[in-house]
Each structure stands twice: as C-alpha cells, then as structure tokens.
Amino acid sequence: MKPPSADDERCFSLEAKRDGTTLCLKLAGEFDWAVTGHVEGALEHGCDISLKHVVFDLSALTFIDLSGLKVILEADEGAQAKGFDVKVVRPRSLANRIFTLTRAGETLEMADSL
C-alpha cells in the first residue's frame, strides 16, 4: 500500500454539521482508504450522549471503496449499542453500485435525498 498523498486528499471533501441531535457528514469526491481516518475522526468528534442520528450524505460521491463502506457499516453497527441511528443518502453516480453488489443497501437505512 502506498501512503496517502496530497493528491488523494484533493479528490475528497468532508463537511460535518451538527444540528441538535443529528450529525450530518456530507462527503464529496472519492471516499477510499486514504481518507477513512478523516471520516472516523469526524464521527468521534461529533458523537456524544445527546446524539440520536447520523446521516452520511453521499450524494456528491464519485467513488467509494470497501474501506469507505466499512466505516459506514461499523458506524451503523455501533449505532445500536450507542443509542443512535444511521441513515445513508445514496450516491447519485456509479458509486451507488457498491451498496447493491455487497448487499449493504439491504441492511442500511438508505434514502435518495435528505
């Protein structure tokens, strides 16, 4: 594996917004292994006892690999233990295929828009 470079991070953006009991993570570009730490950090920073909902807005993603999907699935798995729920806004691009091919879209709460 090669270490992440500045080029990797330029293809990705993350906006985290907290609104009451909801944390919305809006991801754009390419969500792959090189940037999973950014998303995990935003989740850790935004999670507290008052959190009830986490929304992964993937509508602006152009690519997601298995490591990105794993972050979402682990958040969903941990949600039950921590008392919050996870919702995923589908990517509009071919990036949505990973949810079909892995059947993750059958277990996650998916939506077409916010």
Instruction: Give me the sign of the Cα torsion angle 18, 23, 29, 33.
Output: positive
Closest CA to 108 of 81, 71, 64, 83: 71
Q: pTM, whole model, 2 decimals?
A: 0.89
- Structural domains of the chain, with CATH: 6-108 (3.30.750.24)
d(CA 43, CA 105): 21
Q: Give the residue with greater pLDDT, 86 vs 114.
A: 86
Q: Give the residue with greater pLDDT, 80 vs 1.
A: 80
At residue 9, does pLDDT exceed 80?
A: no
Question: Which pLDDT band, with edges at 50, 70 and 90, does 32 fall under?
Answer: very high
